[in-house]
Chain A
Amino acid sequence: MYSFLFFTDEVNEVAREEEMTFARNGTTFAGDADLEDVRLHQCIQVDIEAGFWNPTASQKRTRNFLQVTMAEKERPVVIKEEEVWSWGAGTDGQLGTGKLQDEHLPIQLHIGAGGGLVSVLSCGGAHVIALTTGGRVVTWGRGNCGQLGHGDMVSSLQPKPVEFFEGFIVTHVSAGWNHSGFVTDTGKLFTCGDGSFGQLGHGDCKSNSFPVMVSYFASRHVEQIACGMRHSLVLLEGHSGHRVYGFGSGKHGQLGISEDKVGSICLPQTTTGLEDANIFGINANGDHSAALSAEGCLYTWGRGFTGGSDVNNPQRLSSSLSFIQVALGWHHALLLTSEGEVYMLGGKHHGWLSESQRMNPVKHLSEGSKEVDLGKIPGLNGIKVLQIAAGAEHSALVTEKALVMTWGWGEHGQLGLGSTVDQASPQVVKLEHRPPTIHSRTEVFCGSGFTFAVRHLK
């Protein structure tokens, strides 16, 4: 997808003179309000290749004028709006390549996200949910439980818009092992997919192939959903009080709703012990749960890391570090500090580092005096990290210089290094090089055995 980049001032000037109608991301707009929109976006991207813009003769002259203006000023002429790559396990079409095969190297994709751009991805067991900049939802991959939300139980090898959300603006999505969660701008929560453990929150253990609103939260404002293997967490809007809820399987304490062992629950219940924490993010994967507070504190509950026992209530990790991101695998957790350093909890299996490979093992005490191993990820040598992601047994990060690095289990090519070899420390994934600019942002997302990278070019 190619776009022309116009700069705001020039566009404003010309637009006033010509009263042009542009098409941006498939949406036609014109007039003063739209010029404000243009200003907000710094530039407008006219997708001529996709045929969104059928200029009149006058507009063609304007376009020529703009192109000439740009050429004169030696501004960039043609850019891609975003670049998406996938690699790793492809057994259920989760790579979006249209094939059912693993890829050991990054494959570039063209996700027709209904004319919009991908703003964020959430990758589950073998399916992917893409949220576009316009709040639309596109899904692909395994659909055997209805987790794609298309109203059927079939897999989709290609990205496919979820028609159910026509007319909604979706603001947050999460893909679990075989279920999916969606939050709208009005704070409504919808779920679909496998409900065998009550993880859809509808009061039963049925599966749904269309998204269904979770009526328990009908009068509340949901901010986030996090879907794990067999459980879900919900974060409500606000700053204090009962804001985190859990439902689905609680076998390993991952719901955080009781000191005692619980089985599965199919209606949301409040997670206890977070009432006084100003939680801004929740995470779930495998049988693990985590939450981060605005103050940089990490809370974890559910299955124990590194062979430890299960934790039934959120435990704050006692540390002087300030955490800004957490990514959960099935046996490990990655933590990103405000300094751009990455630490790991657990990881005895594959997304791991063996004891001898840990460069800076540090012991931390969580509340309740349980000793927790927190290891600093080796091999980064002070490179600042901007973002982290974790698959079931592999890990990924994006550095300040927009490099994507991966390590851990590699059997399905999920490290994107061209082989199936495991790696004990972060290795650079070769993506088409593009010097980072203030307008570009690279992000990485991991599903159980696969990985996606998105480079946004503004």
Chain B
Amino acid sequence: MSYDDVEIEDMEWNEELQAFTYPCPCGDLFQITKDDLKLGEEIARCPSCSLYITVIYNLEDFLGDSSKQKNLEPAKQQPVAVA
């Protein structure tokens, strides 16, 4: 089961990991690369534990110029109420 649903705009770009990250409750980071996102992958995994999150994003934002990451449109699909 997905630990959480997180909007891409709430994730942080990590230069070192070359991935979007979000805090994992184990202390490590959920991670997903731009390449993953371009492939339509929506699961960001934590390298240290079994948990993963569902990333909410608009695929079209990643198919074009990847330098536009900063100005992501709100996700097209209805954001799931995070709780």
Contacts and interface: CB of A to CB of B under 8 A. Distances in A.
Contacts of B3: 349
Contact of B26 (A303, A309, A412): A412
Interface string A284-322: 000000000000000000011111110000000000000
Given A89-B48, A125-B27, A307-B81, 8 more contacts: A89-B26, A196-B12, A251-B10, A303-B83, A309-B83, A411-B49, A411-B50, A412-B49
Looking at chain B's contact residues, the main secondary structure is loop
A125 B21 CA distance: 14
Contacts of B81: 307, 309
B74 interface: no
Interface stretch (A2-10, A356-364, A444-452): A444-452
Contacts of A243: none
A305 to B, nearest CB: 7
List of 4 A-B pairs having minimum Cβ-Cβ separation, nearest first = A392-B25, A307-B83, A449-B26, A126-B27
21 contacts: A89-B48, A91-B26, A125-B23, A142-B27, A177-B23, A229-B23, A304-B83, A350-B25, A391-B25, A392-B26, A393-B25, A409-B25, A411-B49, A411-B51, A412-B26, A412-B27, A447-B27, A448-B26, A448-B27, A449-B26, A449-B49
Interface of B: 3, 10, 12, 23, 25-28, 48-51, 81-83
A303 B82 contact: yes
Contacts of B49: 411-412, 449
A345 B2 CA distance: 21
Contacts of B23: 125, 177, 229, 448
Contacts of A393: 25
A305 B81 CA distance: 12
A451 B78 CA distance: 37
Looking at chain A's contact residues, the main secondary structure is loop
Q: Pick from B3, B25, B48 the residue with the most CB of A within 10 Å.
A: B25
Q: Pick from B10, B23, B27, B50 the residue with the most CB of A within 10 Å.
A: B27
A330 B27 CA distance: 12
Interface string A431-458: 0000000000000000111100000000
Given A304-B83, A305-B83, A307-B81, A91 B48 contact: yes
Nearest to A287: B82
A91 B12 contact: no
Interface of A: 89, 91-92, 94, 125-126, 142, 177, 196, 229, 251-252, 303-309, 330-331, 348-350, 391-393, 409, 411-412, 447-450
A280 B45 CA distance: 39
Contacts of B51: 411
Contacts of B12: 196
A349 B28 CA distance: 18
A447 B83 CA distance: 20
Nearest to B83: A307
Given A411-B49, A412-B49, A330 B25 contact: yes
A331 B53 CA distance: 14
A449 B82 contact: no
